[in-house]
Structure 1
Amino acid sequence: MTNRSERIRTTLTQAFAPEDLDVVDDSARHAGHAGHAGASPEGETHFKVRIVSKKFDGMSRVAMQRAVNDALKSEFESGLHALNIRASAPAG
């Protein structure tokens, strides 16, 4: 069984074919905060994602974040509480 971090990485890779992708489980920093109650001991409720993809070319920051959130809809429905997104198109 894959963990949420691996599922997020796989989903974003399939959706956006990123040139660069970092997925970090930031759940430990949110212990005791909303969305953490009842979480598994492994955490997996709060993540940071940095993604660079040509598919974001010409999109606004809001549009890029919406696209990432939409791609991860099933993760939000299954316990993902918060996602810090830094999305961009490649420079140049």
Structure 2
Amino acid sequence: MVREQIEAKLKAAFEPTHLDVVDESYRHNVPVSSESHFKVVLVSDRFIGERLLTRHRSIYGVLSEELADGVHALALHTFTLKEWERQQAKVPASPRCRGAGTLA
């Protein structure tokens, strides 16, 4: 449910050409179904000319309710379409969580 809310808000705000919202809570030391840790890959030409910090701040603004109510972490990967193509549609893997045991 939280993942779907995040997707809907990001689609409405950024009109992405590519969007992945991945619940990575299972990789962290939280109860099952916590929906508290997410990786977001967002490709939008609304980011043209914006610095990385500005991109992230705009996402935090759109997701302020979720961040205030249970979402603990967002791994953000933001690209324009040209940047995404140069990246060859590859996103770095999320780092291991220090507090989690063995990860899948």
Range class of TM-score, shorter chain? 0.7 to 0.9
8 Å Cα contact 1:64/1:88 also seen in 2: no
Is 2:60 aligned against 1:55? no
Taking the aligned partners of 1:59 and 1:79, their CA distance within structure 2 comes to 28
1: CA distance, partners of 2:2 / 2:46? 23
What residue number does 1:18 align with? 16
1:84 aligns with 2:53: no
Shift of 1:22: 0.3
Match of 1:75 in 2: 66
Q: Which residue pairs with 2:7 in the alignment?
A: 9
Aligned-residue sequence identity (percent) comes to 36
RMSD over equivalenced CA pairs, Å: 1.3
Tell me: higher relative CO, structure 1 or 2? Use CA pairs within 8 A at least 6 residues apart.
1
Aligned mates of 2:21, 2:46 — CA distance in 1: 18
Instruction: Specify every segment of 5 or more residues in structure 1 that has no aligned partner in the other structure, as ranges.
Output: none
Give the unaligned 5+ runs of structure 2.
Answer: 84-104
Deviation at 1:69, TM superposition (A): 1.0
How many residue pairs match? The answer is: 83
Q: Deviations over 1:8-58 (max 9, x none)?
A: 000000000000000000001111xxxx4xx5x312000000000011110
Residue 43 of structure 1 aligns with which residue?
Answer: 34
TM-score normalized by the length of structure 1: 0.85
The DSSP-based 3-state class of the residue aligned with 1:74 is helix
